[in-house]
Amino acid sequence: MKITVSTLIAAPIAAVWRAYTTPADIKQWNAASADWHTTAAAVDLRVGGKFSSRMEARDGSFGFDFEGEYTRVDAPHSLEYRFGERHASVDFSQTPVGVKVTVTVTPAGVCEKSTTALRSPKRYSSR
């Protein structure tokens, strides 16, 4: 099944795009929970470009790398990437109250069913 997650961010689309695609910003927000953090991130934002990040438990007990390759980049509206045999698309849609970010992941060898979750709006302060 495809997995789709959406969130609404109360910020201009340019700021949301930058936060999603800039290594320094990724390190600020990319964490599974408060006891995890992203210690490294790299982005070559072009078709065929690679991205990677390193997430670790704050106590140093565990960590893992996440990496892939961009297959489509349409700044600041959408991007697609593959990681392993999986594929993901990310859409950035301007709404009257902010930017809706929708991430859809297609695991290898699955059907077309979709699951959606919409969280409450988040604020992002641009620099």
Rounded-to-integer distance, Cα 97 and Cα 40, Å: 32
At residue 1 the predicted structure's pLDDT band, cuts being 50, 70 and 90, is confident
Give residue 82's pLDDT: 97
Find the helix or strand (DSSP H, E) in which 94 lies: strand 86-95
> Could you report the per-residue pLDDT of 22-62, keeping only the tens digit for each?
999 999 999 989 999 999 999 999 999 999 999 999 999 99
- Whether residue 116 is predicted with pLDDT greater than 70 in this model: the reply is no
DSSP state of 119: P
How many Cβ atoms from other residues are within 10 Å of residue 39's Cβ? 12
DSSP letter string over 28-76?
Answer: HH--SSTTEEEEEEEE--STT-EEEEEEEETTSS-EEEEEEEEEEEETT
- Average the pLDDT over 61-75 and give the result: 97
Structural contact between residues 2 and 114, judged by C-beta atoms closer than 8 angstroms = yes
pTM of the model: 0.82
> Could you report the per-residue pLDDT of 73-96, keeping only the tens digit for each?
999 999 999 999 999 999 999 999
